[in-house]
Amino acid sequence: MKKILIAALMLAAAIVMAMTVPDKKAHKQAMMKAVREYVDEEAARRGMGDNVLTSLGKGIVNKTVEVALNSKLELSNYLLFNTTHVRLSGKDKTLSLGLLGHVFTFDKQMLRDALEASALEKQELKEERKTAKQAAKEARKLEKQLRREQKRREKEARREQKRREKEQKRREKEARKKSKT
């Protein structure tokens, strides 16, 4: 009887856990709250007063993070709980854990590292694009130079051909002159 009671309690706990797993929206809200707190703390730590410019900067950071979360955040559901993660620098970073209707976000240092990694990844992507653009420009320049060189060779070949033909005609003319005499 005791085993049945324990099994029933465990089954009831599992059902309650499964029914109270938070959705992706709850994870986003919890993370955005953590981001806002982090941004406020960073602004205070850096001695930025509560002025219009600071508020605008906070708003931009919050909106940027929100857009990033909307596009990169993935939810993994494990029936009794779930987690969210993003892919940064080729690695999955777990951002939150959802359990019993609550979302637990990880510490601010991890959030700071994730934001810095995201900024670094963005900078690296920008540099890669710049390098690729420069390489493409160099390739076009080289291709143009090769086409010009090819045209120059073709023009030189036509000139040489005309010179040979002219020389041939001159020889034929001299040969006719000699044969007449």
CA 90, distance to chain mean position in Å, is 10
Q: Hey, where are the domains in the chain? A: 2-106, 128-181
Instruction: Write the pLDDT tens digit of every residue in 66-102.
Output: 776 666 777 778 888 888 877 766 777 777 778 888 8
Residue among 62, 141, 124 nearest 90 (CA)? 124
Distance, in Å, from the CA atom of 55 to the CA atom of 58, rounded to the nearest integer, reads: 5
CB environment 70-104: b (16+ within 10 A), e (fewer): eeebebeeeeebbbbbbebeeeebebbbbbeeebe
Q: Which two tokens stand for residue 54?
A: 């600071």
Enter the pTM of the model: 0.48
Taking only the tens place, the pLDDT of each residue in 17-55 is 778 788 878 877 787 787 777 777 777 776 666 665 566
